[in-house]
Amino acid sequence: METFFYEPFGIKVVDDAVYVTCKDRIVRLHDIDKNGEADFYESFSADTDVSFFFHAFNFDLQTDSQGNFYYAKGGHDSDFALPGAVIKISPDGSKQSVYCTGFRVPNGMGSLPDGRLTSSDNQGQWVPASKISLLRENGFYGWVPTCNGKDKWSADGGKIDTAKVIPPKTFDQPIIWMPQEFDNSAGGQLWVDDPRWGPLSGRLLHTSFGKGWMSYLMTQEIENTMQAAIIRLPFDFRTGIMRGRVNPKDGQVYASGLQGWNGEGRIGLLDQGLQRLRYTGKPILMISDCRVESDSLRIHFNFAVDAKSAGDIASYVAKQWNYRWQASYGSEMYSPTTGRIGAEAMDIATVSVAADRKSIRLHVPNLKPVDQVHLIVKIKAQDGTPFEEEVYWTIHQIPK
């Protein structure tokens, strides 16, 4: 007998049992005759809030340390009773509850080693730019179903009077904002902690459906607020990638995805694919950490830098801008100083190189929180090898 899933967008293996997120339920697969193929599809947790609208999917599947399951429901172009929410399912599948809300198209989640969950979201109405957020119970993440006008969609099949919806004054800020040129359609996250994956192990990775790229985050937590810098890995996947997992057999990262609607995405992506990104054992030059200091940006490297090039202020170009949270689609870049449209140069006054030559300090007078920093680094390693990298950074807190 041939069985089909209803638009599956997530998978999780728990105690050797395979769970799949579908639009109408979580399905648990059983291999009764132990031949390596599923022969019984159990409805583990039914979802009665089903939408047929565009973007209306149940995205991803994650678990916490207590065994609860989580998936995210799309908000934009849906007629869910509660659009744009992360749903929590008890370990036995018997109970459902709303964990947090405010998502437009949360096509991918992740989990940190301490069990905290992450989710992406994609630029659009009430989402100024693509982003990755750290989730908390009862959190609100910015998407407000208030699009108005002729022929415009409305949430819950039109039952919500969008003209009367009053948005909150604020929302939970993301770990990182990402402009369209970096990620026009965000996927999910995965934590890699297998040493067989080399120097990139021990990091949170992020996948891009639109660009077919994988990136790594460098997080910093200050006064219970998490912020991050993000760098794209130098690999073009053959297709857009949405889900990544570490294979416990070989410790390497496998990513799956597809190609569909992709405005402003990378051209030429294949319709579907499963690819492995493996560590070859060869050395790699990389930025290993990015830290905000009281008046500086500290960049760490996994190699010794050339003191002359690394100490030259001309080796660094930095711009910064803010976004505006608004009902219209996305946001322009706004000057943090004037509030006018356009990014502005970040004032790097001096550069200093650490004694071990494995970090540099960019002194920025009057360093302030900003939605987006774009930093380009062009230096040399101590042996003369050219090194160039591009960093996107979100700064919420400045340490005292």
pLDDT greater than 80 at residue 163:
no
In the numeric block, which tokens belong to residue 158?
């039109």
C-alpha distances in angstroms, 78 versus 152, 171, 356?
A: 12, 21, 54
Average pLDDT over residues 172-196: 96
Model confidence at 1, in pLDDT bands (50, 70, 90)? very low
Q: pLDDT tens digits for 352-386?
A: 999 999 999 999 999 999 999 999 999 999 999 99
Domain that holds residue 14: 1-172
For residues 37 and 3, is the Cβ–Cβ distance under 8 A?
A: no
- Is the same domain home to 15 and 83? yes
Share of the chain above pLDDT 90, in %: 81
Q: Is this structure's pTM higher than 0.85?
A: yes
- Is the same domain home to 264 and 291? no
Residue 140: name the closest of 166, 99, 101, 82 by CA: 101
Average pLDDT over residues 310-321: 98
Domain end call among 172, 188, 206? 172
CA 98 to chain centre: 21
Rounded Cα distance, 188 and 24, in Å: 21
pLDDT greater than 90 at residue 77:
no
Residue 160: name the closest of 83, 108, 254 by CA: 83
- Is the same domain home to 40 and 156? yes
Domain end call among 148, 172, 196? 172
- Is the same domain home to 210 and 269? yes
In the numeric block, which tokens belong to residue 77?
């172009």
- Is the same domain home to 38 and 180? no
Domain end call among 172, 198, 222? 172
For residues 265 and 240, is the Cβ–Cβ distance under 8 A?
A: yes
Q: pLDDT tens digits for 33-52?
A: 999 889 899 999 999 899 88
For residues 232 and 213, is the Cβ–Cβ distance under 8 A?
A: yes
372: CATH? 2.60.40
CA 272 to chain centre: 20
- Is the same domain home to 96 and 183? no
Q: pLDDT tens digits for 105-161?
A: 999 999 999 999 999 999 998 999 999 999 999 999 999 875 544 445 556 656 666
Please count the structural domains in the chain: 3
Q: pLDDT tens digits for 238-271?
A: 999 999 999 999 999 999 998 877 777 888 888 8
Provide the mean pLDDT of the chain: 92
- Is the same domain home to 245 and 320? no
- Is the same domain home to 318 and 194? no
135: CATH? 2.120.10.30
Average pLDDT over residues 302-327: 97
The reported pLDDT for the residue numbered 160 is 66
- Is the same domain home to 279 and 292? no
Query: How does DSSP classify residue 356?
Result: T
In a domain, 400, yes or no: no
- Residue 300: CB atoms within 10 A of its CB come to 15
- What residue type is assigned to position 7 of the chain? E
For residues 262 and 242, is the Cβ–Cβ distance under 8 A?
A: no
Share of the chain above pLDDT 70, in %: 95
List, in order, residues 6 or more apart from 246 with CB less than 8 Å away: 190, 192, 193, 194, 197, 252, 253, 254
List, in order, residues 6 or more apart from 50 with CB less than 8 Å away: 23, 24
388: left (phi over 0), alpha (psi -120 to 50) or beta: beta
- Is the same domain home to 134 and 216? no
Average pLDDT over residues 166-180: 93
- Is the same domain home to 199 and 307? no
More confident of the two residues 400 and 159: 400
pLDDT greater than 90 at residue 55:
no
